[in-house]
Amino acid sequence: MSINSNIKDLENKNEASIKVDDVSFYYGLDSIEDENEKKNLEPAVKNVSLEIKKGEYIAILGHNGSGKSTLAKLISALELPNEGKIFVDGFETSDEASFEEIRKKTAIVFQNPDNQIVGATVEEDVAFGPENLGVPNPELRNRVDDCLKKVGLYEYRERESSKLSGGQKQKLAIAGALAMKPEILILDEATSMLDPISRDEFLSLVEKLTKENNMTLITVTHDMNEAMRVDRAIVMEHGKIVMSGLPQEIFSSEEEINRIGLELPQHIKLANEIARRTNINPVTEDYRSVEATVDYIRKAVSENPAKSSEAEENSESSEKKEEPKVIMSVKDLTHTYDNRKKPVLDGISFNVREGRLIALIGKSGCGKTTLISHMNAVMKATSGYVEVITKDGKVLNSSNKKDIREIRNNVGLVFQYPEYQLFEETVYKDVEYGLKKQGVPEEDRKKIIEDTIELVGLDKKLLERSPFDLSGGQKRRVAIAGVLVMKPRILVLDEPAAGLDPKSKKEMFKIITNLKKSGVTIILVSHNMDDVMRYTDRVLILSDGKTLKSQETKSSFKDRKALESLGIKRPVLHELVETILNNSDDEELSGKIAAIKDYSDAVELIIEEGVKA
């Protein structure tokens, strides 16, 4: 470190609330003794310099493994830099004497709601931080009550914390952080395990609370929609800062964002697609808010004649095909948990036809997971049953004990976060497990396993590795392979993209569409309506375990009010197009908007309608 930079440190002490000065960090550097090995160690954070002012709202963006979470831990003194220095409000993190001061000033909310709650009851958890600081009563009691009221959990204060919903748990974590009266709040992917509705609610709450108290807010995320809300965004890749600036500056470089494996917010993407079809310039640094971008698109369409459409017409939709045959049939299914009066599922009936990709949607807690657990009989129905029709037309019945094994061979079920079910020493053995249980002879297994691992987009070399050494996205694909080896004809997936960064998510959906092409019938549980819009043929809407509506995807998102009453938001893209076309009551147009599947559909419709107007 040069003398110059030290002088600069002193100068900046009072201006910047956080100052990161040429910091590098290596995981496990201290535990390695061999010098050569030390040299080969890849840094998690490399030569990062950064200043954050008091009260600023910053996003640190990057794909999984880019070093963004490590940087957050370095700032809150949970890790110490190997090279360089970090100052928080003038205190250096490497200085042991200032540890407590820094941790008092910085509060951090982590990704997994379950793994950061310490207290057995809600109020005990909020009190944990201030108790550690030695805050006496009655101030302690006042702080706890006050923070619980701020996040809207006051009525739950005596509840067991483990019984809260995911969204409530993250709010509890915020209350626990606020109770320490921090100056800096860091969200370390705090929203990635929440459904879109809880996510918006959570972010708005945090923004309001930090603004009120003039706190610095740093959000670490791979979701560009969050970046739209901040004052300044920083993009990291391989431990380095590769972009930094106003969100709109970052949005204006689409290619770079895509290369890094992130994804632009949908309104910017749509604007760029429009720009490509008309003759005007793509989105520049002037666009950030949805409103400004909508105006831009309107202007672009009205002033510039569109180039003739090059997209080929989709002809298959007009043809009336024969309906494929029924492969699974749920009949009057009811499930009541032991200690409840009200059934979770109350007389559900529907058919699933072969070869389709069906979305199962409904708000959190409406019984989706319970419903899919009956599809391969891992849960026993209180009444009613599920029928599965085999290849040779045999009808299997879930209430018939003898059929259960065969049902499970036909219906593969992948629960949420399936990476947590891996248990073998090697990927090969883990994937093999189901085959062994099916009684497939050993000599046949190898080929099936290799084919399956390729099907999920993984390298065969990984087969001999331990599944626990892989990245999160890879682990998930191994877990899915473990179900696919059993060659299910119906595959049920519960939120297969939850928590994945944009790149891994895209790959996941590629696997799913490939599976569909190969003839597998797929049932997909999802909270992300844009995914549902893009990838599925039909939609099943479950509300309160009772009514179940089955519709074609293209007509599912027509009625916004009806959907909202079920706790479902329309796809963002549909909302955008509707705003751009200023549609309020034109039934026909609503139908056209609801039929949009991707950006090119949206562009077509906007240009067509725009030209008409």
406 binds other proteins (CB under 8 A): no
CB of 181 to other proteins, least distance (A): 12
- Interface with other proteins (CB under 8 A), residue from 242, 280, 379, 589: 379
- Interface with other proteins (CB under 8 A), residue from 293, 376, 410, 504: 376
140 binds other proteins (CB under 8 A): yes
What is the size of the binding site for other proteins (CB under 8 A)?
A: 71
Asked whether 392 and 570 are in contact (CB, 8 A), the reply is: no
CB of 216 to other proteins, least distance (A): 16
CB of 572 to other proteins, least distance (A): 29
433 binds other proteins (CB under 8 A): yes
Indicate the residue type of 520: V
Asked whether 480 and 456 are in contact (CB, 8 A), the reply is: yes
What distance in Å separates the CA atoms of residue 580 and residue 278, rounded to the nearest whole number? 16
78 binds other proteins (CB under 8 A): yes
- Interface with other proteins (CB under 8 A), residue from 7, 41, 120, 395: 120
Q: Which among 50, 114, 108 has a CA at the least distance from the CA of 81?
A: 50
What distance in Å separates the CA atoms of residue 218 and residue 210, rounded to the nearest whole number? 10
- Interface with other proteins (CB under 8 A), residue from 11, 30, 96, 160: 160
What distance in Å separates the CA atoms of residue 510 and residue 123, rounded to the nearest whole number? 45
437 binds other proteins (CB under 8 A): yes
155 binds other proteins (CB under 8 A): no
- As a residue count, the chain comes to 613
396 binds other proteins (CB under 8 A): no
- Interface with other proteins (CB under 8 A), residue from 98, 192, 198, 370: 370
Pairing type for strands 232-237 and 57-61 reads: parallel
What distance in Å separates the CA atoms of residue 124 and residue 108, rounded to the nearest whole number? 18
Q: Tokens for 223? A: 């979701």
CB of 29 to other proteins, least distance (A): 18
Query: Torsion over CA of 423, 427, 428 and 433, rounded to 10 degrees?
Result: 30
- Interface with other proteins (CB under 8 A), residue from 12, 112, 213, 253: 112
Q: How many CB atoms lie within 10 A of CB 5?
A: 13
Q: Which is nearer to other proteins, 241 or 500 (CB)?
A: 500
Q: Tokens for 207? A: 């923004």
107 binds other proteins (CB under 8 A): yes
Residues linked to residue 385 through DSSP beta bridges, in sequence order = 331
CB of 431 to other proteins, least distance (A): 10
- Interface with other proteins (CB under 8 A), residue from 262, 283, 483, 498: 483
- Interface with other proteins (CB under 8 A), residue from 304, 364, 438, 513: 438
279 binds other proteins (CB under 8 A): no
Contacting range for other proteins; rule: CB under 8 A; set: 19-27, 122-130, 203-211, 568-576: 122-130
Indicate the residue type of 477: R
DSSP-derived letter for residue 381 is: -
491 binds other proteins (CB under 8 A): no
Instruction: Identify residues 81-100 at the interface with other proteins (CB under 8 A).
Output: 100
Q: Which among 595, 378, 413 has a CA at the least distance from the CA of 495?
A: 413
Indicate the residue type of 437: K
